[in-house]
Amino acid sequence: MTVPGSALGEPREVEVHLWYPADGKGFSEAPQTVYTSALYGRPLMAGWDPLSWTVLSEVAREDVAIDPRGRPFPVIVFSHGATNDPIDYAQTLELIASAGFVVAAPDHVNNTQDDVRIDYVNKKAGFQLLNCNDHRPPPCSRTDVAFSMADRVNDISAVLNRLPGWLGDRVDVSRAGVLGHSRGTVTALAAAGGSVAWSKDLNCQAVVPPQAPPPLCWPLSPDPRVKAVMGLAIGAPKITFGANLANITVPTLLVAGGQDQTSPQAVSQAAFDQIASDEKTFVSIPNAVHRSFDSTYCDQAQAAGAIAERNPRAILDLQTLAGIVTANPSGTAMQYCALTTFTTPTDIRPLIAALTGLPFPNNVPTTGLTSDEVKQQVTELAVTFFGTVLKREGNDGPHLTRYRAQQPERAFAHQKVR
């Protein structure tokens, strides 16, 4: 989709992942969804093979029509973390959609993992081998908070504008929820409450375009369609407190990781205390690190590592593995992945030891908590929370039983749209 009014003043082309309840007709014949980087198969240069890792969806099928039965489905827009991609969270988003939601996750172009990969290849090549996804000059990954937050919040509103065109009257965008991780949590909070502008502390005047009114950097207005916010592992303090937390009056659920060193639990608690909503809940997952919420990272590590272990020309597969197993302080795969991640079907432990320069630990996951367990907890929280708020009927709301994230409740599909 084309998102107008970017921080640089030009439209941005943003790809959106959709997960939704599927029509039973043709579902079993449709191909199972396969997730991979946007750089999958893209030619590089002599001596380097294209990125080739893939992760098979647990249950989604590709491009099946949306279920035509019943009332329109409530919408949840998901905002990924800085230098992440929606597919990093796909297994969690699948489960949430299976409970009767449409989940839409935009790639926040200029702040994605694929932007980082392109910059990595160009730096390694010594020249611009690959173009940026937005067709602007490199660097492709622009993590400046002022740029990133302005574009991210615009992406949320643009998705809500476009959803009826993609899925027709099967979606209700008038009462939407926003779910985010890390910087995506701050995006969700700003979509609900606006921002006081990311300015002085972040040196915004150095990056603000000439047409913007100094000294502020894109103060953002809330989207009135956002009726609920859920955030996982809130962003760093200097980012978080740029959101207008005192202006957030919608139901809000914040989830913190007890061992998160990137966004310590105290930061989430401090932000939570400033949120004005009368309906707000704070949840701590004691042994979770920042990356415990990335539900496909363990599968990505095995898939990319297996390729890199046997093919020294697979530079982007190796880069993918390295990013997952050396990601301090946000959390390495050994802290949240089960032992089978590193042994089955390919034993990638020697390669990981070479990348980290450390012996492979004997007690993985070292936190005692896997990302699969976190996925189940987050799904249960999200479906219960958004189900109560977005499906609310009457003054006392619907009488919902607590959701247990075990088996999907219904068939569902995935597609990518532009």
Q: Confirm if 371 and 293 have CB atoms less than 8 A apart.
A: yes
At 198, the pLDDT band (50, 70, 90 cuts) reads: low
Q: Is there a domain that residue 416 lies in?
A: no
State how far the Cα of 67 lies from the Cα of 289, in Å rounded to an integer. Answer: 36
How high is the pLDDT of residue 97?
93
State how far the Cα of 276 lies from the Cα of 385, in Å rounded to an integer. Answer: 18
Retrieve residue 42's tokens.
């893209």
Q: Is 172 helix (H, G, I), strand (E, B) or coil?
A: strand
Q: Confirm if 90 and 115 have CB atoms less than 8 A apart.
A: no
At 200, the pLDDT band (50, 70, 90 cuts) reads: very low
CA–CA–CA angle 350, 355, 358 (5° rounding): 70
Q: Is there a domain that residue 392 lies in?
A: yes
Q: What pTM was computed for the model? A: 0.90
State how far the Cα of 256 lies from the Cα of 230, in Å rounded to an integer. Answer: 11
Q: Is 57 helix (H, G, I), strand (E, B) or coil?
A: strand
Same domain assignment for residues 272 and 315: no
> What integer is the mean pLDDT of 64-84?
94
> What integer is the mean pLDDT of 382-402?
62
Q: Is there a domain that residue 368 lies in?
A: no
**315-331 residue pLDDT tens:** 999 999 999 999 888 99
**268-279 residue pLDDT tens:** 999 999 999 999
Retrieve residue 82's tokens.
């800085």
How high is the pLDDT of residue 143?
67
For residue 361, the one-letter residue type is P
At 405, the pLDDT band (50, 70, 90 cuts) reads: very low
Q: Is beta strand 252-257 parallel, antiparallel or unpaired with respect to 226-234?
A: parallel
Q: Which residue has the higher pLDDT, 212 or 345?
A: 345
Q: Is there a domain that residue 361 lies in?
A: no
At 148, the pLDDT band (50, 70, 90 cuts) reads: confident
Retrieve residue 138's tokens.
């490199």
Where in the sequence is the domain holding 166, given as residue range(s)? 2-292+375-410
Q: Which residue has the higher pLDDT, 320 or 400?
A: 320
How high is the pLDDT of residue 135?
77
Same domain assignment for residues 165 and 307: no
State how far the Cα of 295 lies from the Cα of 39, in Å rounded to an integer. Answer: 20
Q: In the chain, how many domains are there? A: 2
Q: Is there a domain that residue 75 lies in?
A: yes
